[in-house]
Amino acid sequence: ESELEEEGDDVLQARPPVVTVMGHVDHGKTRLLDAIRKADVGGGEAGGITQHIGAYQVHTEHEGLERALTFIDTPGHEAFTAMRARGAQVTDIAILVVAADDGIMPQTIEALNHAQSANVPIVVAVNKIDKEGANPEKVRQQLTEFGLVSEEWGGDVMFVDVSAKNNVGISELLEAVLLTADAGLDLRANPDKDARGVAIEAKLDKGRGSVATVLIQSGTLRVGDAIVAGTAYGRVRAMHDENGDSVLEALPSRPVQVQGLSSVPRAGDNFIVVPEDRTARQIAEKREAAERNAQLAKARKRISLEEFTKALADGKVESLNLIIKGDVSGAVEALEESLMKIEVDDSVQLRILHRGVGAITESDVDLATIDNAIVIGFNVRPDVKARERAAREGIDIRFYNVIYNALDDIEASLKGMLKPEYEEVRSGVAEVREVFRSSKFGNIAGVIVRSGTITRNAKARVIREGVVVADGLAIESLRRFKDDVTEVKTDFEAGIGLGKHNDIQIGDEIETTEMVEKPRD
Ligand code: GDP
């Protein structure tokens, strides 16, 4: 947008909308992308071998004109949000796919929240209407609860019934996307300048070296241009489109596969054309340093609940953003409802960006990174990748197993009050590698301590695939080899007996907690 303001209206030309398809697994995203691609009325490249390059363009007839649309060929909100975390806003419109026989599912809502957080308008494709038991009206009904009200019902969201399998409703869907774009978005760019855009996908090819699909966002990219994409640089040696045809230039919203880069850029990296290829390298190096600094600065800026409380006392805060993940939907809903009832001063706002069931994932952490949110895990934990990313980005993840405690914490923070005097802290995490049967102690978990220290008088909980399956357990025995010990530190092996609790499996995590006095600030 800022770029549009900079340039005079006279140089701007309409560009096709860029569309991402999102939705729950198995609801037909991939099949829909195939059907859309086959619906192309342009070019008529019969016999052309279609290639997966990460994005493609199709043409459709709209109000008597042939119009183009660009589709990102990696469905799902994970890729979308990962690119956003790199600062790339690629998508203009999201198609939310919902299977008419299944109705809305957890990832439907996740996708919806991710699109809304990015301010991307949504068109709903109600898929699989060919199936017995399909109930497209129910999908409309269900989505009203999440603020998506169909036009037929007086809302402003277009719903289109489709069957990706039978190629039904595809041109209507493209029509709806164009109408939504024309109604609410000013999709224009200046083609008469050096290109800029975003890398969408890239790989190292045995014969061709680095091949990167880039989406042009403004300007025109030409063979021979010197470019920098993220920290990769080089001269464009050749460009190919999604039909494998070689092209010499690419206009705004066009995806092309580019050869000639020194290395493989990451999805979401911005690219620019530079005047000379010998400056490209310097820019790439500068970028690398700048990116590192920006990331550090961003990580430092992240707010924790404590910092939020302090900033609130200083009158410096606008909103507390939360992402809630829990083990069962009832708990998540109850927590959300109670949180929304907290009465706070008009100057602060509690915003729940996303809620869902299941372990905390990388895409939750990405969303928290973008919107500076705190993540609440109610009886759930992050998976390994999410944990690593959260640590790197400095995201505050809070774990609770009692709704009241979560409420208390957040309420205290929102009111800028002192916290309770005691809090539960995680003292150790161990991974179960073997399970033994002991006549005296019941099942014994043979573990290796992954972090912290496991102490004999701590309370324990068992976590399976990110979800807490048992809680508040006493540690009845803690041994190293044959010896009873009072504590076991990181990287050491031990045997843990949890008394009557016998449900322990290899791969479980045993997490221990202790109550400690909270520091007063
Ligand atoms: P994705 O996980 O959302 O990408 O889903 P897929 O595109 O892989 O589709 C999941 C399954 O649903 C596949 O077996 C598809 O063939 C099937 N499917 C997709 N669209 C339709 C449809 O319109 N009708 C029917 N009957 N099956 C469909």
Check residue 6 and give its pLDDT.
61
Instruction: Work out the percent of the chain whose per-residue pLDDT is above 70.
Output: 91
Q: How far apart are CA 252 and CA 85, in angstroms?
A: 22
Q: What is the pLDDT of residues 296-348, one digit of tens each?
A: 666 556 677 877 777 777 766 677 889 999 988 888 989 998 888 887 766 67
416 CB near ligand 1 (under 6 Å): no
Check residue 8 and give its pLDDT.
65
277 CB near ligand 1 (under 6 Å): no
Q: 71 CA distance to ligand 1 centroid (A)? A: 18
Q: What is the mean pLDDT of residues 16-42?
A: 92
Check residue 518 and give its pLDDT.
60
30 CB near ligand 1 (under 6 Å): yes
Q: What is the pLDDT of residues 233-244, one digit of tens each?
A: 999 999 999 988
Indicate which atom in ligand 1 lies nearest the CA of residue 97. Answer: 3
The pTM is what? Answer: 0.68
Lowest mean pLDDT among 79-88, 171-180, 384-393: 79-88
Q: How far apart are CA 243 and CA 56, in angstroms?
A: 9
Residue nearest (by alpha carbon) to ligand 1 atom 24: 128
Check residue 442 and give its pLDDT.
80
Q: How far apart are CA 463 and CA 226, in angstroms?
A: 51
Q: What is the pLDDT of residues 105-138, one digit of tens each?
A: 988 998 999 999 899 999 999 999 999 999 999 9
Instruction: Work out the percent of the chain whose per-residue pLDDT is above 90.
Output: 53
Residue 188: is its pLDDT beyond 50? yes
Q: What is the mean pLDDT of residues 4-26?
A: 84
Q: What is the mean pLDDT of residues 77-88?
A: 82
Q: How far apart are CA 140 and CA 126, in angstroms?
A: 9
Residue 473: is its pLDDT beyond 60? yes
Could you tell me what percentage of the chain is helix, strand and coil, using 3-state DSSP and rounding each to the nearest 5?
30, 40, 35
Task: Name the amino acid, one letter, at 520.
Answer: R
Q: How far apart are CA 368 and CA 106, in angstroms?
A: 18
Q: What is the pLDDT of residues 202-222, one digit of tens each?
A: 998 888 889 999 999 999 999
Helix (H, G, I), strand (E, B) or coil at 57: strand
Residue nearest (by alpha carbon) to ligand 1 atom 18: 28
Cβ–Cβ contacts within 10 Å for residue 159, how many? 25
Q: What is the mean pLDDT of residues 69-79?
A: 88
Q: What is the pLDDT of residues 368-385, one digit of tens each?
A: 988 888 999 999 999 888
164 CB near ligand 1 (under 6 Å): yes
Cβ–Cβ contacts within 10 Å for residue 269, how many? 25
Residue nearest (by alpha carbon) to ligand 1 atom 6: 28
35 CB near ligand 1 (under 6 Å): no
Q: How far apart are CA 474 and CA 158, in angstroms?
A: 55
Buried-exposed string 407-416: b where 16+ CB fall within 10 A, e elsewhere: bebbbebbbb
In sequence order, what are the beta bridge partners of 454? Answer: 488
- In this structure, the dihedral spanned by the alpha carbons of residues 349, 352, 353 and 357, taken in order and rounded to 10 degrees, is 170
Check residue 1 and give its pLDDT.
39
How high is the ipTM of this complex?
0.99
Sheet strands side by side (includes 65-72): 55-62, 65-72, 18-23, 93-99, 122-127, 159-161
131 CB near ligand 1 (under 6 Å): yes
Q: What is the mean pLDDT of residues 25-33?
A: 95
Q: What is the mean pLDDT of residues 131-154?
A: 94
Provide CB contacts within 8 A for 296, sequence distance 6+.
none
Helix (H, G, I), strand (E, B) or coil at 300: helix
130 CB near ligand 1 (under 6 Å): yes
Indicate which atom in ligand 1 lies nearest the CA of residue 164. Answer: 23
